[in-house]
Amino acid sequence: MNFTRDIPQHIAIIMDGNGRWAKERHLPRAVGHREGIQRVREIVRAAGQMGVKVLTLFAFSHENWQRPRTEIAMLMKALDHFLDYEVRQLHESNIRLLIIGRDDPIPKRLVTKMQAAQAKTAANTGLTLVLAINYGGRQEIIDAAKDFARDVQANRAQLNSLDEQSMSRYLYTRGLPDPDILIRTSGEQRLSNYLLWQLSYAEFYFLKKYWPEFKTEDLAQAIKAYQARERRYGQISDHAETAD
Ligand code: IPE
Ligand code: IPE
Ligand code: MG
């Protein structure tokens, strides 16, 4: 298998298991999240070097607001810290940062920082790093439906013209290719409201390791598994005999 061949253009990851990783080591959950951010740094670098074009990481879900207030505050602080200290490095590495999800109820100050970070890196031509923050797939589809309805009302769009391509342009991920592979760590095998529209033909790769244990070799392993899959998109196998 030639590893350099058929590198997925877009990899989506559900970074799960920070809390359990910490708990098993009798450490506070915050340590798990801190360790998780280290892995983000490494995986972003590795993905860029491997030639991946887009890497989308689930950092905070629409449903994560239901966690205890102290945990939410800690995660928001970690995000704040990431924006303060990592964005310069991303920029120097020619990485474009995109953030997808709803602004509300993220603290205004953070939203402003998120916008500034995206503006700063907007013209970069290397890896596109997409962070899903306060993101929910159903919420994204609702927002798209509302935007489209508004355009129809204002005569900017025709009801009958809506198709898969134009619908994609109403999503937060407009302009990006759909993910080729979804990776989820921690052993859970569910989508948790992640990229519902975009993952319709992605290959799924689940592994037991917790996110703080996810290394560059695991990413390479996932890509290898992806390369061994046959993506049929509803057709019959390339190798199948013609039906008689
Ligand atoms: C993933 O780890 C990170 C976020 C959801 C922010 P978790 O915090 O979900 O860790 P577990 O699943 O409780 O172990
Ligand atoms: C999904 O993980 C969200 C992120 C990784 C940010 P969760 O840990 O919140 O998912 P559930 O609740 O186990 O489905
Ligand atoms: Mg979890």
Q: Helix/strand/coil (H, E, C) string of 182-240?
A: EEECCCCCCCCCCCCCCCCCCEEEECCCCHHHCCHHHHHHHHHHHHCCCCCCCCCCCCC
Tell me what the pLDDT averaged over the chain comes to: 96
16: annotated active-site residue: yes
**Between vectors from CA 90 to CA 103 and to CA 135, what angle results, nearest 5°?**
25
Mutate-to-test residue for ligand 1 from 13, 14, 18, highest number of ligand atoms within 8 A of CB: 18
Q: Give the number of other CB atoms < 10 A from CB of residue 146.
A: 11
User: What's the pLDDT band for 238 if we cut at 50, 70, 90?
Assistant: confident
The ligand 1 site (C-beta within 6 Å) comprises: 15-20, 60, 64, 75, 186, 211
Please give the Cα distance from 168 to 201 (Å, whole number).
14
pLDDT at residue 129, rounded to an integer: 98
Element (H or E) spanning 22, and its range? helix 18-24
Q: What's the whole-number mean pLDDT along residues 34-56?
A: 98
Q: Please determine, for residue 81, whether its predicted confidence score (pLDDT) is greater than 60.
A: yes
Phi, psi dihedrals of residue 55, rounded to the nearest 5°: -125, 120
User: What's the pLDDT band for 2 if we cut at 50, 70, 90?
Assistant: very low
134 burial via Cβ count (<10 Å: 0-12, 13-18, 19+): buried
Query: What's the sign of the alpha-carbon dihedral 208, 212, 218, 222?
Result: positive
Q: Please determine, for residue 107, whether its predicted confidence score (pLDDT) is greater than 90.
A: yes
Ligand 3 mean position to 168 CA, how many Å?
28
Query: Which amino acid is residue 21, in one-letter code?
Result: W
Q: Please determine, for residue 35, whether its predicted confidence score (pLDDT) is greater than 70.
A: yes
Please give the Cα distance from 117 to 98 (Å, whole number).
9
Q: At 57, is the secondary structure helix, strand, or coil?
A: strand
Q: What's the whole-number mean pLDDT along residues 198-224?
A: 98
Q: What's the whole-number mean pLDDT along residues 121-135?
A: 98
Q: Please determine, for residue 97, whether its predicted confidence score (pLDDT) is greater than 80.
A: yes
Query: Which amino acid is residue 63, in one-letter code?
Result: E
Q: Please determine, for residue 217, whether its predicted confidence score (pLDDT) is greater than 50.
A: yes
Structure tokens at 113: 């920082």
Q: Where are the alpha helices (DSSP H) in 51-181?
A: 69-85, 87-92, 108-121, 137-153, 164-168
Q: Please determine, for residue 241, whether its predicted confidence score (pLDDT) is greater than 80.
A: no
Please give the Cα distance from 167 to 221 (Å, whole number).
33
Query: What's the sign of the alpha-carbon dihedral 36, 42, 48, 50?
Result: negative
Ligand 2 mean position to 11 CA, how many Å?
18
pLDDT at residue 1, rounded to an integer: 43
Ligand 3 mean position to 131 CA, how many Å?
17
What percent of the chain is modeled with pLDDT above 90?
Answer: 95
Which ligand gives the minimal distance to the CA of 12?
2
pLDDT at residue 243, rounded to an integer: 57
pLDDT tens for residues 59-68?
999 999 999 9
8 Å CB contact between 14 and 38: no
Q: Please determine, for residue 4, whether its predicted confidence score (pLDDT) is greater than 90.
A: no
